[in-house]
Structure 1
Amino acid sequence: MVASDLPIGDRIRHYRGGRRQDAVAGLVGISPDYLSQIERGLKVPSLPILYALAQELGVATAALLSEQPPAAEEATDTAEAAVGRALLGYAPTASPTRATAAELRGRVEAAWQSWQTDGDRFTRAATTLPGLVADTEYAVRAVRAGTDPTERRGVLRAAADLYCLLRSYLRRTGRVDLATIAADRAMRAAEDADDPLRIAAAQWNLGHVLLAAGQPGEAEELSLRAAEQLAATQMPEAERAAMGGALQLVAVVGAARRRRWSDARDRLRQHAAPAARMVPDSSNVGWTVFGPTNVALHALSIDMEAGETGEALHTADAIDTSDLPSLEREFTFGLEVAACHSQRRDDAAVLLALLGLEAVAPEDLARTPLARQLVLTVIRRARAMHARQAEQLAVRIGLV
């Protein structure tokens, strides 16, 4: 079995196995160089050549085609599907009685903690979230009709935090459509709770949904407007600085996605960095992980996306992620360092970085498109020893 997103060239290389490239090419009637270019993704084989390769490799022609399966054929009994059913209201409550605000608060905080720190966070979240979402929805409906304003506000605050977490989970599992619903529910709960901090956090989440949906301009506009509103809000200065800075980082990413590198750097330096000086890395206000290190990570991201790999690696050398309360941000840092090494064609360094990421966050490595792309690049381009190690890694993360 190979992953549905594995390119044709990599499928051919996989099924060729240990057979020599020149031997297979000769039997098919093409040059070894042409087969090499097909396997490296530089050429697309014609249908007759594809059929001949399939015959020689002993597989069906369809096995060499890298097409995503139709959505209707996807399994509906997966743990991730259960999360979606809970969000849409099709899952029963896990508890026979309504959970209190304090109980929900503890469960949501534990779920957030696991999501930000556990290497198997997807497995844990898929187990925890369906019941937690169902119980939270049940509690929200109950307190809306209740008479205890303190309990109502507590439940709504827990719901806002949970739906911000759910947005992150759904985006990472490829369900941007459901992530949008989760972000909207987070905003509704935060507004109903009349909680300025959670309203800002919900706007930050919505900005990330827009980025994931390929709408960086809208994300930038939303986050900047939210930052302006937050500046006039009454709340502790450290919280306002952290959430304002986090919203500025969404605008930074939006500008960078539109290739406005100068605007992104100016906003990072003039708005996000001053806010970060007021916030320690460990504060994690609104679960945004905003602080000086996160600002430095965004500077690295800008350099990497702009192709300025030398400057990016220089920036990376000065970053210490050991105090970050989020494994996801640490993973993203390592992945972007690997991408910089890949741009410089240092495949040994890429492989070393990927193996390090596998050790700390194997599920993220298996699910992240950039990580999968980097593994394939090492297989295609690296020396034989490193290519073999990358092939073994591809097996472990489900690429082949």
Structure 2
Amino acid sequence: MVAADLPIGDRIRHYRGERRQDAVAGLVGISPDYLSQIERGLKVPSLPILYALAQELGVPTAALLSERPPPAEETTESPEAAVGRALLGYGPARSATPVTAGVLRDRVEAAWHSWQTSGDRFSAAAATLPELVADVEHAVRATRGGSDAAERRAVLRTAADLYCLLRSYLRRTGRVDLATLAADRAVRAAEDADDPLRIATAQWNLGHVLLAANQPAEAEELALRAAERVGSARLPEVERNAMEGALQLVAVLGSARRRRWKEARERLVQHAAPAARLVPEGSNIGWTVFGPTNVALHALSIEMEAGETGDALNTADAIDTSPLVSLEREFTFGLEVAACHSQRRDDASALLSLLGLEGIAPEDLARNPLARQLVLTVIRRARAMHARQAEQLAIRIGLV
């Protein structure tokens, strides 16, 4: 079995196995160089050649075709589907007694902690989120018309926190549509609770959804407006600085995605970095992980996206990720380092980084599109020993 998104060239290489490339090419009637280019994704084989390759490799022609299954064929029993059903209201009967805000708050905080620190966070979230979403949704509905204003506000605060977590989970499981819905509900819940901190956090989450939906200009505009409002909000100083800085980082990413590198660097230095110096490392306000280390990671991201890999790796060398309270951010750091090595065609270093990421967050490595692409690049391009190691890694993460 191979993954549905594995390209044709990589499928051919997989089924060729240990057979020599020149031998297979000769039997098919093409040059070894042409087969090499097909396997590296530089050439697309014609149907007759594809058929001949399939015959020689002993597999159906369809096995060499790279096709994603249509959405209609996706199982309705997947964890993502279960979370989606809960989000859309398939929860407890309206007559059921709702869970109290205090209990829900503890469960949401535990879910957030697991999401940010666990190497198997996707499995853990799949096990807990459907029921938690259903219970929070039910509590929101039950308290909407109730007489206990304090309980209703506490439920709404908890709901805002949960919806922000859902945004992160759903985006990383490929459901940007539901992530957008969750982010919007976070904003509504925070506004109904009249909670300035959660309003800012919800705007930060919404900005990340817009980035995921390839709308960087909209994300930047939203973040800058929200940052301006946070600056005048009645919040403790540390919370105000943290959220204003976190929103500035969304704007930084928006500029970078629009290839406005100078603007992104200036915003990072002039706005995000000064705010980070006023926020204690590890405070994790609003679950944004904002602080000096996170700002440094964004400096790395800018240089990596700009293709300035030498500067990016120099920046990475100066970063100590030990203060981070989020395994996700540590994973992103390692992945961007791997991407920089790959851009420099240093496949051995890229592979070493990827193997390190497998050790700390194997589920993230298996799900992340960039990580999967980097593994395939090592297989296609690296020397035989490293290519074999990458092939074993590809098997472990479900690529083949």
Q: Shorter-chain TM-score category?
A: over 0.9
Counterpart AA for 2:381: R
- Tell me which residue corresponds to 1:223: 223
Give yes or no for contact 2:160–2:198 (8 Å, CA) kept in 1.
Answer: yes
- Tell me which residue corresponds to 2:325: 325
Give yes or no for contact 1:93–1:131 (8 Å, CA) kept in 2.
Answer: no
Q: How does 1:61-140 map to 2 (within 5 A)?
A: 61-92=61-92, 97-140=97-140
Give yes or no for contact 1:255–1:264 (8 Å, CA) kept in 2.
Answer: yes
Would you say 1:166 and 2:200 are equivalent positions?
A: no
How much does 1:54 deviate? 0.9
Counterpart AA for 2:340: C
Structure-1 separation of matches of 2:32 and 2:91:
55
Give yes or no for contact 2:139–2:155 (8 Å, CA) kept in 1.
Answer: yes
Structure-1 separation of matches of 2:289 and 2:147:
36
Counterpart AA for 1:47: L
Structure-2 separation of matches of 1:241 and 1:49:
61
- Tell me which residue corresponds to 2:151: 151
Q: How does 1:366-377 map to 2 (within 5 A)?
A: 366-377=366-377
Give yes or no for contact 2:91–2:137 (8 Å, CA) kept in 1.
Answer: no
How much does 1:156 deviate? 0.3
- Tell me which residue corresponds to 2:279: 279
- Tell me which residue corresponds to 1:210: 210
Structure-2 separation of matches of 1:239 and 1:95:
39
TM-score of the superposition, structure 2-length normalised? Answer: 0.99
Counterpart AA for 2:277: R
Counterpart AA for 2:243: M
- Tell me which residue corresponds to 1:397: 397
TM-score of the superposition, structure 1-length normalised? Answer: 0.99
Please give the secondary structure, in 1, of the residue aligned with 2:247: helix
What is the CA RMSD across the aligned residues, in angstroms? 1.1
Structure-2 separation of matches of 1:89 and 1:34:
54
Give yes or no for contact 1:95–1:135 (8 Å, CA) kept in 2.
Answer: no
Unaligned stretches of 5+ residues in structure 1: none
Q: How does 1:372-383 map to 2 (within 5 A)?
A: 372-383=372-383
Q: How does 1:187-266 map to 2 (within 5 A)?
A: 187-266=187-266
Structure-2 separation of matches of 1:208 and 1:380:
33
- Tell me which residue corresponds to 1:17: 17
Give yes or no for contact 1:93–1:134 (8 Å, CA) kept in 2.
Answer: no
Q: Bigger CA drift: 140-149 or 241-250?
A: 140-149
- Tell me which residue corresponds to 1:342: 342
Counterpart AA for 2:155: V
Q: CA 1:258 to 1:189, structure 2 compared with 1: closer, same or farther past 3 Å?
A: same
Structure-1 separation of matches of 2:137 and 2:362:
32
Counterpart AA for 1:295: V
Cα deviations across residues 8-58 of structure 1 (Å, max 9, x unaligned)? 000000011111111110111000110000000111111111111111111
Structure-2 separation of matches of 1:82 and 1:93:
17
Cα deviations across residues 338-377 of structure 1 (Å, max 9, x unaligned)? 0111111111111110000000000000000010000000
Structure-2 separation of matches of 1:156 and 1:95:
20
Would you say 1:59 and 2:59 are equivalent positions?
A: yes
Give yes or no for contact 1:93–1:135 (8 Å, CA) kept in 2.
Answer: no
- Tell me which residue corresponds to 2:384: 384
Counterpart AA for 1:100: T
Structure-2 separation of matches of 1:323 and 1:61:
51
Structure-1 separation of matches of 2:38 and 2:281:
47
Give yes or no for contact 2:9–2:41 (8 Å, CA) kept in 1.
Answer: yes
How much does 1:91 deviate? 3.6
Structure-2 separation of matches of 1:257 and 1:79:
31
Counterpart AA for 1:326: S
How much does 1:149 deviate? 1.2
Structure-2 separation of matches of 1:128 and 1:345:
41
Counterpart AA for 1:79: P
Please give the secondary structure, in 1, of the residue aligned with 2:282: coil
How much does 1:92 deviate? 3.5
Cα deviations across residues 215-264 of structure 1 (Å, max 9, x unaligned)? 00000000001011111111101000000000000000000000000000
How much does 1:94 deviate? 12
- Tell me which residue corresponds to 1:358: 358
Structure-2 separation of matches of 1:319 and 1:225:
30
Give yes or no for contact 2:2–2:399 (8 Å, CA) kept in 1.
Answer: yes
Give yes or no for contact 2:91–2:138 (8 Å, CA) kept in 1.
Answer: no
Structure-1 separation of matches of 2:25 and 2:313:
40
Structure-2 separation of matches of 1:295 and 1:95:
47
Counterpart AA for 1:226: A
Counterpart AA for 2:39: E
- Tell me which residue corresponds to 2:267: 267
Counterpart AA for 2:120: D
Q: Bigger CA drift: 114-123 or 80-89?
A: 80-89
How much does 1:90 deviate? 2.0
Q: CA 1:299 to 1:93, structure 2 compared with 1: closer, same or farther past 3 Å?
A: farther
Unaligned stretches of 5+ residues in structure 2: none
